[in-house]
Amino acid sequence: MSSSRLGPRLAACLLNISEARNKEIVERVAKAAVYDKQGGRHEQTTVLNIFRDFDYNRSVLTIAAPIEKLGGAVMSACVEACDLIDMEKHSGVHPCLGAVDLVPIYPLCENVGLGECGLTAQDVAKGLTQQVPGTSVFLFGFADPPRYRSLVERRKELGWFKQNQDLRRVQTDLGAPPSHRYGLTGVGASPYVMNCNVTIATRDLAVGRRVAGALRGSSPGGVQGVQVMALPHEGAVEIACNVESVQGGEEDWTSYLIQGERYSYPPAALIASRVSELAGQHGVRTLGTALVGFTPQECRGLAERALQQGVAEYWRQQRPVHM
């Protein structure tokens, strides 16, 4: 992802909101990132993709812009989401704590630094709690100096993975104590994180959890950079993977640069193959693999194309990516 000094300094946000079943709400949130209340265009911003999952009741919106413009676009989408989504009425099998559940900022060009993305994330966090009274935020990654705790660390601390979490016990970084209306929002910055989901042909969640545990990067023999959950999904079990970009990595992994530092990530085909192997040990086959959005290189290429063409709602040209 090297970049020309003359080109835009691009970054992206894979905005996670706790709504998927109402398409109109999801698209209103997406449009808020690229249009103002009067319908005027937010220049140099685009929504590249919308991934909606009915069972999870969760959507991921890929918003891209020059880093100088991204915070404002993301902020507008967050405010709209808070206006439209009520966590007291939410149901879904995917863990979540907030109407706006996750706001990660990622650099797309070599000349956009992680520290700069962290500052943008902090601005979004402060703006959200100021513009929407009653919202609550925790920070992670490069928005969380000096500790720079990872998203997984923060989620464990806050009980994100638990069902029926008592929000009154949660310590926030910004804003009000968590409310039942808005919940709690995670805002941060890191190298790009892909989402890769592999479905296995079983309803047995215990089998899925054993597969997920063996695949997880922190496990012996696991895949570096992969964080995993096993969740019931459409009558089967989905091995839902966050695929982190790590410094170094294996030589045959796809790599890119952030301010001269090499980052790489395991390819989706490797993850799918490993899930197939692990599931096969339990007599279970895989049903398919889906990327939620894009690889870092794809995201940057599509962002450049959409911005050059002036296309705000680029998601309308996209289809889910299956392997």
Per the domain annotation, does 144 fall within a domain? yes
pLDDT of residue 321: 45
- Which pLDDT score is estimated for 165? 64
pLDDT confidence of residue 3: 43
Residues 110 and 140 in one domain: yes
Structurally, the chain folds into a number of domains equal to 2
User: Among 189, 210, 227, which residue terminates a domain?
Assistant: 189
Residue 82 forms part of a structural domain? yes
Domain assignment of residue 16, given as a range: 10-189
CATH number at residue 182: 3.30.990.10
Asked whether the beta carbons of 88 and 72 are under 8 A apart, the reply is no
- 130 and 253 co-located in one domain: no
pLDDT tens string 36-70: 988 999 999 999 999 999 989 999 999 999 999 99
Are residues 107 and 114 in contact, defined by beta-carbon separation less than 8 angstroms?
yes
Q: What is the pLDDT of residues 88-133, one digit of tens each?
A: 998 887 878 899 999 999 999 999 999 999 999 999 999 999 999 9
For residue 86, the one-letter residue type is D
Same domain? For 63 and 112 the reply is: yes
Q: Give me 33's structure tokens.
A: 């990132």
- Is residue 319 in some structural domain? no
* 92 and 111 housed in the same domain: yes
Same domain, yes or no: 74 and 163: yes
Asked whether residue 65 is domain-assigned, the answer is yes
Q: Which parts of the chain have pLDDT scores under 70?
A: 1-6, 161-166, 318-323
Within a domain: residue 224?
Answer: yes
Q: Of 189, 206, 225, which residue is a domain's last?
A: 189
- Hey, is 259 helix, strand or coil? coil
Residues 69 and 198 in one domain: no
* 183, 97 Cβ separation under 8 angstroms: yes
User: What pLDDT was estimated at residue 293?
Assistant: 82
The answer to whether position 162 is within a domain reads yes
* 30 shares its domain with 118: yes
Question: Is 305 contained in some domain?
Answer: no
Nearest to 187 by CA among 124, 248, 130: 124
Q: Which of 189, 211, 237 is the last residue of a domain?
A: 189
